[in-house]
A and B are shown apart, each in its own frame.
Chain A
Amino acid sequence: MDAAVFYVSGVGSLLSSLLVVSLRNPVHGAIFLVLFFATISLDFLILRAPFLAVIQVLVYAGAIMVLYIFVIMLLSLRPEELREGTSAGRKALLALFSGGLFLLLAQAILASPWISSVPDLAGPLPKGAGEVGTTRAIGRELFQRHVLPFELTSVLILVAIMGAIYLTRRRPSERGKVHQ
């Protein structure tokens, strides 16, 4: 049962990622990106990562997507600006390149003896495995063994906030100017 749900949501996330890439209007792309994040969160649940599944919905579908939608609103792109001049030949070449990259990855995955020796992931956890993926287990891991990376991440986010504020501030020469 778990495996069937995973395959359905995995194929769903693959299809919605294809739609994000191919739809011309970024608003439609953003909507399918939300669907993509939801299906990925379902995948996380089945792979026994409940904490990450919740965080995925909260941070990606909640916070990051709102940021994207706000920027789409602020830009108010006109339909003629959404037309992209990528030629069909260039697209075919890039599709060939990323398809080749996928084949390379697939070859590495299928050739690895370690990967093919792993038992069924949908089954129950082995006895004595302890807690995996719960909030408590990840909190312990994060605050006991990885305190320094955690603190460095907070510095990174602080720098990102300051950079975003600096980049979007209005310069004195632009005061009072309103674009259309």
Chain B
Amino acid sequence: MSGPVFLALELSLQNVLLIASAIFCVGVYGVLSRRNVLVILMCVELMLNGANLALVAFARATVHRLPEGAPRANESHVFVVMVLAVAAAEAAVGLAILLAAYRRWHTADVGKINLLSG
């Protein structure tokens, strides 16, 4: 094949899913290792976006694999819309809890907000 190499690159479902799961695992690491509530919430967004990327990739793949692929592909796009709505609700409630906790204890460190730990 002539032309530059990048024109001949193939985009396989495997590579897309590998990138998506790498993003998800980076989010998992952040949620577990960071202490600042704000950063933890941001890492939850990373995880949700990794899952969304996998859903969109599967949607693109079903167009090829199923005889009536297009309606199913749109169905998984609907899933992503739902995930977006849940992410927005989660951010609103999570940040509200953070504000209430900060007002009470003057810290955003999850290690210091330990009223419920026995």
Contact = CB atoms under 8 A, between A and B. Distances in A.
State the main secondary structure of chain A at its contact with B. helix
Contacts, number: 270
Interface in A10-29: 10-11, 13-14, 17-18, 20-21, 26, 29
Contact of B39 (A14, A26, A49, A149): A26
Contact of A138 (B15, B22, B74, B91): B74
Contact of A52 (B69, B77, B102): B77
Contact of A102 (B9, B21, B64, B77): B21
Contact of A6 (B16, B27, B88): B16
B46 to A, nearest CB: 5
Given A71-B98, A163-B96, A168-B99, A86 B33 contact: yes
Q: How large is the interface on B (under 10, 10 to 19, 20 to 34, 35 or more residues)?
A: 35 or more
B70 A90 contact: no
B97 interface: yes
Contact of A157 (B7, B30, B88, B98): B88
Interface of A: 1-4, 6-7, 10-11, 13-14, 17-18, 20-21, 26, 29-30, 33, 36-37, 40, 43-44, 46-49, 51-52, 55-56, 59-60, 63-64, 67-68, 71-72, 74-75, 77, 81-82, 84-86, 90-91, 94-95, 97-99, 101-102, 105-106, 109-110, 114-122, 125-126, 129-133, 137-138, 140-142, 145-146, 149, 153, 156-157, 159-161, 163-165, 167-168, 174, 179
